A and B are shown apart, each in its own frame.
Chain A
Amino acid sequence: MAENNRAVVKLKEKFASSIVEVVEFRGEVTVTIKKEDLLAVLAFLKQALQFNLLTDVTAIDYLGKREERFMMVYLLYSIPNKDRLRIKAAVSEAECHIESATQVWAAANWLEREVYDLFGITFDNHPDLRRILMTPDWEGYPLRKDYPLQGPDREPYKGRLS
Chain B
Amino acid sequence: MATTEKMTLNMGPQHPSTHGVLRLVLELDGEVITKITPDIGYLHRGVEKLSEHRTYHQVLPLTDRLDYLAPMHNNLGYILTVEKLLDIQVPERAQTIRIIMAELTRLESHLVWLATHALDIGAMTVFLYAFREREVIMETYELISGARMTSNFFRAGGLSQDVPPEFEKKVRDFIDAMPGNLDQYEGLLTTNPIWLKRTIGNGVITAEDAIDIGITGPALRGSGVDWDLRRDNPYSGYENYQFQVPVGEKCDTFDRYKVRLVEMREACKIVTQALDRLKPGPVLADCPQVCYPPKENVYNSIEGLIHHFKIASEGYPVPEGEVYQGVENPKGELGFYIVSDGSSKPYRMRIRPPSFVNLQAIEKMAKGAMIADLVAVIGTLDVVLGEIDR
Interface residues of A (CB under 8 A from B): 25-26, 28, 30, 52-56, 58, 60-61, 73, 75, 79, 82, 84, 86, 105-107, 109-111, 114, 118, 131-135, 142-143, 147, 149
B296, CB-defined interface residue at 8 Å: no
- Taken together as a complex, chains A and B put the C-alpha atoms of A79 and B216 apart, in Å, by 11
| Cβ-defined partner of A143 (8 Å) among B49, B214, B225 | B49
Q: Are B84 and A26 in contact (CB under 8 A)?
A: yes
> Are A55 and B333 in contact, CB atoms less than 8 angstroms apart?
yes
Q: Could you pull out 18 A-B pairs where Cβ atoms are within 8 angstroms?
A: A26-B321, A53-B211, A53-B214, A54-B214, A56-B337, A73-B337, A75-B335, A79-B211, A82-B233, A86-B324, A107-B213, A107-B357, A107-B360, A110-B356, A111-B357, A133-B44, A142-B46, A149-B53
> B360, A110: Cβ atoms under 8 Å?
yes
Alpha-carbon distance between A58 and B51 when the two chains are bound, in angstroms: 15
Q: Which of A53, A61, A75, A114 is close to B348, meaning CB atoms less than 8 Å apart?
A: A61
Contact mask for chain B residues 225-238; partner A; CB cutoff 8 A; 1 contact, 0 none: 10100001100000
CB under 8 Å from chain A, chain B span 314-373: 321-324, 326, 333, 335, 337, 339, 347-348, 350, 352, 356-357, 360
Known: A53-B214, A110-B357, A132-B40. A143 touches B323 (CB 8 A): no
Whether B286 is near chain A, meaning CB under 8 Å from some CB there, is no
Report the Cα distance A30→B95, complex, angstroms: 28
Interface size class of B (residues with CB under 8 A): 35 or more
Contact between A55 and B85, CB atoms less than 8 A apart: no
A115 CB to closest chain B CB, in angstroms? 10
- What CA separation (Å) do A54 and B352 show in the bound complex? 11
Task: Specify the chain B residue showing the minimal Cβ separation from A144.
Answer: B49
C-alpha gap A109/B356 in the complex (Å): 11
Interface residues of B (CB under 8 A from A): 40-41, 44, 46, 48-50, 53, 84-85, 87, 209, 211-214, 216, 225, 227, 232-233, 321-324, 326, 333, 335, 337, 339, 347-348, 350, 352, 356-357, 360, 389-390
Q: How many Å lie between the Cα of A28 and that of B324 in the bound state?
A: 8
List of B residues within 8 angstroms of A54 by Cβ: 214
Task: Evaluate whether A82 and B232 lie within 8 angstroms (CB atoms) in the complex, with A55-B335, A56-B337, A107-B214 already known.
Answer: yes
CB distance A55 to B41 under 8 Å? no
A105 & B352 in contact (Cβ 8 Å cutoff):
no
Q: How far is the CB of A108 from chain B (nearest CB, A)?
A: 8
Shortest A12–chain B CB gap in Å is 21
Query: In the bound complex, do residue B322 and residue A30 qualify as a contact, i.e. CB atoms below 8 Å apart?
Result: yes
B339 proximity list for chain A (CB < 8 A): 60
| Given A73-B337, A149-B50: A132 and B213 interface contact (C-beta under 8 Å) | no
Residues in chain B near residue A28, CB distance under 8 A: 322-324
How far apart sit A143 and B350, CA to CA, in the bound complex (Å)?
11
15 further contact pairs, Cβ within 8 A, besides A53-B211, A143-B49: A25-B323, A26-B87, A55-B324, A56-B335, A56-B352, A60-B347, A73-B337, A75-B335, A75-B337, A79-B211, A106-B209, A107-B212, A132-B40, A135-B41, A147-B49
